[in-house]
Amino acid sequence: MDLSYYLFVVLTFLAVMGLMEGMVQLWNAHGSPKTRLVEERLQAMSTGVENIESPLLRRRLLSGVSTMERLLLTMPTIHVLDRLLIQAESKLKVADFLAGSGAIALVAGASALALGTPPWLSVAMMAAGALAPFAYLKHLGRQRLQRIAQQLPDALDLMAHALQAGHSFSSALRMVAKEGPAQVALEYRKTFEEINFGVSVQDALVNLAARVDSTDLRYFVVAVLIQRESGGNLAGLLSGIAILIRDRFKLAGAVRVLSSEGRLSAWILGLLPFVLGAIVNFLNPRFMSVLWTDPAGIHLLGGALCLMLIGVFWMWRIVVIRI
């Protein structure tokens, strides 16, 4: 065998070893559990107040592409959307979410044009397709915030018992992060890790209130901040807040039962015209096409939609009672 054969074997071996080393380094840099844990901690810490100056903190990445990142940072309310993604526990970045919303809007508009609908209805379908992911994201966020609010009294009781047993406030936070209800434990763990990273207790609690848009949790944050300034029995204060939150839940449940008939009527009256219109259009398309082909039908349709929006808003204001 000549020298070129041995050289080829050696180069092939080095190439394979280099490829394996590159894959290991790529995994350690982006895919390993420890790396993902550090990224989640840093991203969680970057979603709170923006006046914390620390080399350990960085903003949550809005996109994997630097050019897109700079473009998104120029939008004034882009961090509101980023916070909605975090509240909904979504793994998507802002750029990915906006791209998906745009794709849904284009598919909805193209489908409406393919069905032969008028241009204004196609535009309305595009707008609905673009707004649907935002509505779903808001719905997921509300569900998670509701679960956190329901678990908060138990977490406050656990903190109060830990303080009565002689633990410090940070130790009580750690105890809730380890043994508390799942959703609340996750947020308390982020707060405890911020304090361990060197963030002050006040800033960490303000970050907690910024991440979790809950009135009940703000009661807890304000109570702790006031107690740290003026002193007092923090354990008794937390127990009182837990009792107050449970009483609010009882009252909210009673109000929800009493207003259930009004909410059902609002859903029926809001959906009935569209359902009947779809059925009539399926049975006799020529009969329904007058609404968007004749000028008088277009005016009638626009007036009916405006009156429906006013009625839905009015019923919503009646059945929604803030406690």
- The 10s digit of each residue's pLDDT in 138-155 is 888 888 888 888 889 999
Residue 57 confidence (pLDDT): 37
For 264-295, give one letter per residue: b (16+ CB within 10 A) or e: eebeeeeeeeeeeeeeeeeeeeeebeebeeee
What's the start-to-end Cα distance of the chain, in Å? 88
Residue 110 confidence (pLDDT): 84
**Is domain 145-250 annotated with CATH 1.20.81?**
yes
Q: Determine if the pTM surpasses 0.85.
A: no
* C-alpha span between 61 and 95 (Å, rounded): 9
| Predicted confidence (pLDDT) per residue in 250-262, tens digit | 888 888 888 787 7
Take residue 140 and report the two structure tokens written for it.
Answer: 């997921």
**Angle of the 78-87 helix axis to the 94-114 helix axis, nearest 10:** 90
What is the DSSP secondary structure assignment for residue 29, as one 8-state letter? I
| Predicted confidence (pLDDT) per residue in 76-135, tens digit | 667 777 778 877 777 777 778 888 888 888 888 888 888 777 777 788 888 888 888 888
Residue 6 confidence (pLDDT): 56
| Residue 149 region by backbone torsions, left for phi larger than 0, else alpha for psi between -120 and 50, else beta | alpha
Residue 4 confidence (pLDDT): 63
Taking 70 as the pLDDT cut, the residues of the chain under it are: 1-11, 13-14, 16-22, 24-77, 323
* C-alpha span between 252 and 311 (Å, rounded): 24
Distances (CA, A) of 14 to 9, 21, 189, 250: 9, 10, 45, 69
Average pLDDT, the chain: 78
* C-alpha span between 41 and 189 (Å, rounded): 10
Instruction: Give the count of alpha carbons within 13 A of 286, CB side only.
Output: 0
Residue 157 confidence (pLDDT): 92
* C-alpha span between 304 and 316 (Å, rounded): 18
